[in-house]
Amino acid sequence: MNSTTAPYAGLKTLYLQLDSFISLHTARLKGIKQPTNTQQSIERGRMFIHAFLKGFLKERAKRSVELSSSEVTEANKKAIKLMGARPGIMSCMDSRLPVTIMFGLPMQAAKSMRLPGGDMPGFLYDGTGKLTVDTSSRLAALLTSSHEHPLDPRFQLLVSHTGCAARYGLEKLAGRDPADQGLYADIYSKNEQGKVLQQEYGIDPIGFVYDVATGYGYMGLSRDEVLSSTNEFGEQVLKELEFNNQIINTRSIAKKYSSVFRKNFFKVDWTTNHKESALRFMIAMEHICEAVFPEMSDQVRALYRHRKPPEIRMKTMLVLFNAFSGYLHDPNGTGNPYTQHLEECVVFDYKSKGPFKEYPAFAIAPIEGNVAEYAQLAQTIVRDNRRAGRVKDRTNLYTDRDFIAATVPFIYKAEVGIKSTDAAWELIRSIDWTEIAYSWQHVDLTTWLSEQIGSNISHEKFVTLVTVLNEMRNRLQELKNNTKTQSLLDTDAMSILPLLVSSDRQPQSIVQFIT
């Protein structure tokens, strides 16, 4: 099957599965006695979700084709060569912060994970009061397999960002109202966690602060000498730190190298021209590095005098990537186009492939023990977007006022390590889930799936599928076990579509786990 047509051919099957999912979910809602669950509200909610998810699946299928293109593949190779390694990147679930927008990086060039505030759970204080990684946590498992090759330099970029609602909320809960909305506290926390990563896992942490208002950022704010010199990072403090050469402001770098950037300028468009933008960005960066890398590297080395060359190279490239990306998005200084919250839905996913022109989403890694809390926060912000008029009902089923309370779409994306061209997907798509649609919590999936497809699929792929489905089921069960989240599900305030995607990110099959 041709890779450029596979997702669209597969959409026909997905749409049929979606019809079944909507029907099964409607029946569940009608069986729940809730004052808000009237016949009219349920049917209107299901019509909205059905239309929304059809559009979402089509948009994401289109992106998966772009990510498999020769242009993006070549861009990935160029990016990793320029950086010297493939870093991990931890950033906020905010749709304004994908690595493509911040650094111009194609998705496979970095291992990106998104969580509220970019805050990874899994750290704890031991009996002596020392911060450490909980060895039984998902974090520990991810860290031990976070990079493709154990001999590569290992880097973890910890991204803070200005105006982070999640961090500011935590500060206010603690009785504080800092002028920088918790930016200092966020950087300090990530810096302490970074030290643990270095001491216990040999991973070099790199702190970076992204300024949502400008599209540029700061390198050096997480250095101990900077953190010890102040207790907040307001605008005036940042100016003084830059003036004293204590930090690097990438906006200043863009001005310094404006003539070089101008020679390599092109009209970047990550939403509708993703693959060409990815390749042209990296080709431009090769030319820029030829002109400015030695000088830029010296400036980075001045801040990190005792760090090894691979780390200096990585930090230098991240500075240049962000500076050029910020310049491309705002060459005339009129403002960063990615400043507003426009999230319409929530995606649970360990990877993120934004930005998207249609159906922008909060992207949240489904970490054990935290999915219910994350879901509650994300659906609240989606409603805030509706309330502010930044997000409109695509179906015209609701008035603006009624739309605020309408169902928030959630999509649980689970990647199965099987390529989209593999015949195993035909078997997986043939599974009839209706038998366990309402009892999935109590079924032995290994036995049940073995009866469905076990004799027709290789043992390795069968184990991979069962492992992914068990994790999906556990996280969905975690959502249902939480009283607040269960109430949101029962009243149709949120609706979750479980979706399997291939290793090349093509949507493949809807799992009929009705929540």
DSSP sequence for 144-211: HTSSS-TTS--EEEEEEETT-HHHHHHHHHTT---TTTTHHHHHHHHHHHHHHHHHHH-PEEEEEEE-
- What mean pLDDT is predicted for residues 238-245? 97
Length in residues, the chain: 515
Section 31-49 average pLDDT: 88
Measured CA distances, 174 to 177, 193, 402, 478 (Å): 9, 20, 34, 27
**pLDDT class of 8 with cuts at 50, 70, 90:** low
In terms of average pLDDT, the best of 63-67, 123-127, 201-205, 273-277 is 273-277
pLDDT at 367: 85
pLDDT at 210 over 70: yes
pLDDT at 33: 80
Instruction: Read off the DSSP letter of residue 369.
Output: T
Confidence class for position 162, pLDDT limits 50, 70, 90: very high
Tokens of 222: 């997480």
- The answer on pLDDT for 39 being more than 70 is yes
393, HSE (Cβ side, Cα atoms, 13 Å): 20
Confidence of residue 132 (pLDDT cuts 50, 70, 90): very high
What's the whole-number mean pLDDT along residues 489-495?
Answer: 95
For residue range 441-456, list pLDDT tens digits in order. Answer: 999 999 999 999 988 9
Mean pLDDT of 38-47: 91
- Residue 131: predicted pLDDT: 94
Residue 157 pLDDT more than 70? yes
More confident residue, 295 or 171: 295
In whole angstroms, give the CA distance from residue 425 to residue 510: 12
pLDDT of res. 7: 47
Residue 90's pLDDT band (boundaries 50, 70, 90)? confident
Task: Give yes or no for residue 148 having a pLDDT over 70.
Answer: no
Confidence of residue 74 (pLDDT cuts 50, 70, 90): very high
- Least confident range from 315-319, 364-368, 377-381: namely 364-368
Q: How far apart are the first and last CA of the chain?
A: 34
Confidence category of residue 35, pLDDT binned at 50, 70, 90: confident
pLDDT(149) > 70: no
pLDDT band at 150 (very low <50, low <70, confident <90, very high): very low
* Amino acid (one-letter) located at 264: N
Q: Between 369 and 307, whose confidence is greater?
A: 307
How far apart CA 510 and CA 500 sit, in angstroms, is 6
Average pLDDT, the chain: 91
pTM score, whole prediction? 0.91
Residue whose entry in the numeric block shows the structure tokens 């990530």: 190
140-156: average pLDDT: 62
222-239 mean pLDDT: 96
Confidence check: pLDDT of 142 > 80: no
Identify the pLDDT of residue 1.
37
